[in-house]
Copies of this chain bind each other. A is one copy, B any other.
Amino acid sequence: MKALVYHGPGEKSWTDAPDPQIQNPTDILVRIDTTTICGTDLHILKGDVPAVTPGRILGHEGVGTITEVGSAVTQLAVGDNVIISCIKSCGQCSFCQQGIFAHCLGDEGASGIGWVFGHLIDGTQAEYVRVPYAETSVYKVPEGVTNQQGVLLSDILPTGFEIGVQYGQVKPGDVVAVIGAGPVGLAVIATAGLYGAARIIAVDLDANRVEQARKFGATDGVNSGDADWKEQIMALTDGWGVDVAVEAVGVPESFELCAALVRPGGRVANVGVHGKPASLHLESLWIRNVTVTTGLVDTRTTPTLLRLLAAGQLDVSSLVTHRFRMEEFLDAYDVFADPAHSGALKVLVTTD
């Protein structure tokens, strides 16, 4: 088959790779119909994730058709159209039993981490992929949901919803500020209304992104390049700060600003992927009754999000800005890696 293979920092190709095989009775094989690229893939290509070794097929998002099932698989069948979660879940370990699939102990590459595709085992940017622990790691695409919508459930929508909205404990009437209006920030914005936020403030340096965020449900936008941007945000609250600030950038500065924006009793939900520590200003925060959360997605809410998509209660079609065929995979990477010029959010790659 053909696949997008990592050859070491800065090196990748769309090339021949061995067809995957069933290895365990709970595996399935899936022929990929639709996949996409994540910011994490760019990090890997920079060499920032040393666990990814040359020869690895990248990608952890995908929708496709089952072509083979292991001997213990009973609820899935050849021909089923399924969403592959970016997180594998064995369904049996102590973490999975608590719903913390992100830290599944099931041993695929390494124990204690649910993210294995395109990381510790071969991923979804390929014509075929092996999916371990299939019955607890994939979801059938229900009637009324397209593959294009479905692939957004592999990672980005559950990440925004679980790690931004749910960890941030958004509740009806809240004022929520989302720092960073890139794809994952927009996924937070698109799902904050599911808990009745009164105001959703999109904050970004890029005026276009701020404007675009309104399509996803942002009620207000603030350009963080403005000198008085913090005052603009405070003016949208009762003066005591936002109820929830979501960090969706991944740098210490924006995390620290989140901690400075929240009201006493407020929550900071970190969604961004960080490479450096931040300062936690305990000398002022100790007395402010603030909650800070971090997290890798569990994809626990995929069934919930599927029901909402199927019922037409969640419109995220604007997240997809570009489409490519598989043989154009390198072009897709180029477009995705240059959003300032391309305006790319999610870039789909499909077989048809």
Q: A residues near B, CB below 8 A?
A: 24-26, 70-72, 74-75, 91-95, 97-100, 102-103, 112-113, 135-136, 167, 171-173, 193-199, 219, 238, 240, 250, 252, 255, 264-265, 270, 272-283, 285-296, 298, 300-301, 303-305, 307-308, 310-311, 313
Contacts and interface: CB of A to CB of B under 8 A. Distances in A.
A294 B172 CA distance: 22
The interface residues of chain A, by DSSP majority, are classed as: loop
Given A91-B92, A94-B303, A289 B294 contact: yes
B91 A91 contact: yes
A307 to B, nearest CB: 4
Nearest to A288: B294
Contacts of A97: 300, 303
A202 B26 CA distance: 43
Contact of A283 (B75, B172, B274, B290): B274
A280 B283 CA distance: 14
B264 A275 contact: no
Contact of A272 (B25, B95, B286, B301): B286
Given A94-B238, A198-B307, A289-B295, A255 B282 contact: yes
B26 A72 contact: yes
B291 A292 contact: yes
Which of A195, A264, A298, A301 has the most chain B CB atoms closer than 10 A to its own CB? A264
A289 B296 contact: yes
A252 B252 CA distance: 18
